[in-house]
Every structure is written in C-alpha cells, then in structure tokens.
Amino acid sequence: MKGQKIAFLAAYSTKMGALRPIILIVVAVLVVFVAALMLQATGLQSDTSELNTPASTAVFKSKAPRTPPKHIPLQEPSFDAPTNSLTDEDINRKLAGLATRNEVEESIAFLKSRGYVPPDVVEMYQNYSEEVLQALGNDGDLAALAVLAGQYAEKDYDKFKNAVLRSIVHGSISFAQVQADLYFTQSEFELANPNGGNSELAKLDFLLSLSWYEFIKMRGGGDAVTQLVDARITKSAFTISPADRATIQSQGAAIYAELSNERQRLGVGEYDNSVPPGLENFLDLIGIY
C-alpha cells in the first residue's frame, strides 16, 4: 500500500493539493494543554508531565509544509468503570471541585486514543526507517502514520495528505482538526488575496472546514467543538444561512460515511465514538474535544 493514494476521499482532498503559492500559517489548536491544565486543575504533576506538549503551528509554503503537526494517535483503549472506592485524597479533591487521580488517568488515556500523545513517543518513532514506518502504518499504527506525516510534510505534500487521511481513518481526531483548520486557513487566505480573492471559493472552503468539525462532533466532540464552530461563524465574513448549515451537516455526514466505509474495507470495524463515563466535564474544561 506504500505510495498508494486514498481515492475514497478524493472529492474532499482535491483542493488540498492546490494550495496557493503563498505562506499558509495554520494554527492548529490540536495538542492538549493537558500538562498545564492538569497542574492547575488537578495538581497531579507526576501523572501529567508526560503530556507536556505545547499547541503547535504548522507552516505551509506552496506544497511543502515545513513544520507539520506531530500529534501521535494511539490505538483506542477500552474504558472500564472503576471498581475501587474513593480514597481520602479523591474525596478531598472532589470536595474541592477537582478531578480524582483515576479521572485524570482515564482522561489522559482517552486523549491519547484520539491523537494527543507524549513527545517521547514521537522521538522513539523518529528512529525508525521510512520502510518500517510504512509497514507499521499499513497495519494501522497511528503513531507511525503521524511521524510519516511529519516527514512527508517537508518533502512530499501528496504523501503528507495520504498519511493524514489514513490516520483519520484509524481514529485520529487531531488530524481531523488539521483537515478542518487547513480548509479554514485556505478560506482566510483566499479572501485576503491581494490579487482579488474568490469569495465563493472562500465560502466553499469555509463550509468544508465546518463540515470536518461536524465529523469531529459525530466522533464524540462536545461543547468545546460546538463553541469553536459558533465562534468561527460569528467572526467570519460570511452569512451562514439555514441552507448552509444543512450543507455543513450533510457534508460532515458524507465524510463520516466515506471514512466508515474505508474502515469496513480495512476490517477495523466502526468508530468508537464513546466518551468514558464521568469525563465529559473534565474534557470540556480542557476545551479541545
């Protein structure tokens, strides 16, 4: 499957291979502010230092992005309801309105399963050859695909897109956000084109960006995603009509259906869109899912 394009998403990715020859600065608010937020909201420094990953900026010039997003998705774990009773520490934390140690650990595991991971995993996979990474990626190893995307972004934009889309197929939410933010940025730069932007094309890209966020909502994205979409609509140069909102929903559903079909073809089953019980409020606090 090495070098092979993912044809099932050609309709959604065609414009991505034709980025304007200007610098596109994509501020992808993808990586968790987990370390800082954990320190503030939970005080469990020893449990969260491994996720000390800053928000990243991907800089794209023509078809050769220089600094790709490097958020390593891991395989989706299962989440069993805790059976142990609360400790005195947990009770005190609950009374203080903070997450328990178990909730913190489950939150970190959940975020890793959706594409937010420690940088030491990136460093480890960067030691593998391209051939090894390709073999791992063909088996659905999301960490390998993410590192491949980072390498290809510097030299081969088509392979970069391929790795991103394969990551999304295998469960990455972080790269779905990359897709959404790429279309959003493309729309912004189309409007700002000094040679005269195409407002109709810019709006199509804007709606497609929101359609990818609709896909993320279908994957279990909560209030943070809804608030981001609402804020972008409010601040945009476009009037979003009821028909436009229907288009966003239908395109998001179409993206989900195509990706689900590809998962079935690969034999990996349906997406797991569940959120572990009791973690909704904590994930809203983090504000990324």
| Whether residue 43 has pLDDT greater than 50 | no
Work out the pLDDT band at 69, boundaries 50, 70, 90.
very low
**To 10 degrees, what angle do helices 223-235 and 199-218 make?**
170
> Which pLDDT score, from 0 to 100, does residue 221 have?
85
What's the average model confidence in pLDDT over 89-112? 78
Q: Read off the pLDDT of residues 30-40 as tens digits, 9 standing for 90 and up.
A: 333 333 333 33
More confident residue, 66 or 193: 193
Q: Read off the pLDDT of residues 172-222 as tens digits, 9 standing for 90 and up.
A: 998 999 999 999 999 999 999 888 779 999 999 999 999 999 999 999 888
Q: Would you say 214 and 279 are in contact if contact means Cβ atoms under 8 Å apart?
A: no
More confident residue, 121 or 267: 267
Q: Read off the pLDDT of residues 238-277 as tens digits, 9 standing for 90 and up.
A: 999 999 999 999 999 999 999 999 999 999 999 999 887 7
CA distance 77 to 242: 38
> Which pLDDT score, from 0 to 100, does residue 115 have?
75
CA distance 208 to 183: 7
Eight-class DSSP state of 72: -
| Whether residue 25 has pLDDT greater than 60 | no
> What 3-state class would DSSP assign to 215?
helix
Element (H, E) at 65: none
Look at the pTM and tell me if it is higher than 0.85. no
> What 3-state class would DSSP assign to 23?
strand
> Which pLDDT score, from 0 to 100, does residue 234 have?
95
> Which pLDDT score, from 0 to 100, does residue 109 have?
82
CA distance 182 to 19: 10
> Which pLDDT score, from 0 to 100, does residue 87 have?
83
> What 3-state class would DSSP assign to 50?
helix
What's the average model confidence in pLDDT over 162-179? 93
Averaged pLDDT of the chain: 73
Q: Is 161 exposed, middle or buried (0-12, 13-18, 19+ CB in 10 A)?
A: buried
Sign of the Cα torsion 58, 61, 66, 70 reads positive
Q: Read off the pLDDT of residues 90-100 as tens digits, 9 standing for 90 and up.
A: 787 777 777 77
H-state helical runs in 7-125: 10-13, 34-41, 45-48, 88-95, 101-113, 119-125
> Which pLDDT score, from 0 to 100, does residue 45 have?
38
